[in-house]
Chains A and B, each alone.
Chain A
Amino acid sequence: NAGVMQNPRHLVRRRGQEARLRCSPMKGHSHVYWYRQLPEEGLKFMVYLQKENIIDESGMPKERFSAEFPKEGPSILRIQQVVRGDSAAYFCASSPLLAGFLAKNIQYFGAGTRLSVL
């Protein structure tokens, strides 16, 4: 399967616990993006990463949320001390290496992780 892989597909946490969401990009892709979809709302950008670098985290809440994309292994979105408002579907997308400010960019999405906070 050459698609974007996310796991787990479903994650249940109690308030105050930590949630770790994993994303393996498509083969050959070096850019990863995380989006959040709250119930009855559209997809909202959270963070954009390349290997070992956070490029744009303008959509990330300032507290409790962090993301990484290490040299080896999947990208991780980490939510500390979860609250009920964190319940949402979290989607990861990936795109290939780009060059130039006008480089064409198509993002391919995974199936998402649905986080439920009790």
Chain B
Amino acid sequence: DIQMTQSPSSISVSLGDRFTITCRASQDIGNYLSWYQQKPEKSPKLMIYRATNLEDGVPSRFSGSRSGSDYSLTINSLESEDTGIYFCLQHKQYPWTFGGGTKLELK
């Protein structure tokens, strides 16, 4: 199975800060990676697909990038509504696997 190592597992960030979450894939996954945001007691919400594509309606302060086997989600100028847990997901190879999650809180 492809392991997705996500970091950090949690972080407190100030409003207006820039923040990056990274998922490292244990094997090549091409750009078959998506990012999801999950609020408490809610279903995950698609934020980024195919590594770099912003889902409709997602603010432009969110962006996705890739460097080798590292995939990153960056939030520029954090807003209060951005808190929650973020997961990456690889869908290159079965079984599709998620990262362990990053809990983003406000300082």
Instruction: Decide if A and B are genuine partners.
Output: no
Task: Spell out A's residues near B (CB within 8 Å).
Answer: none
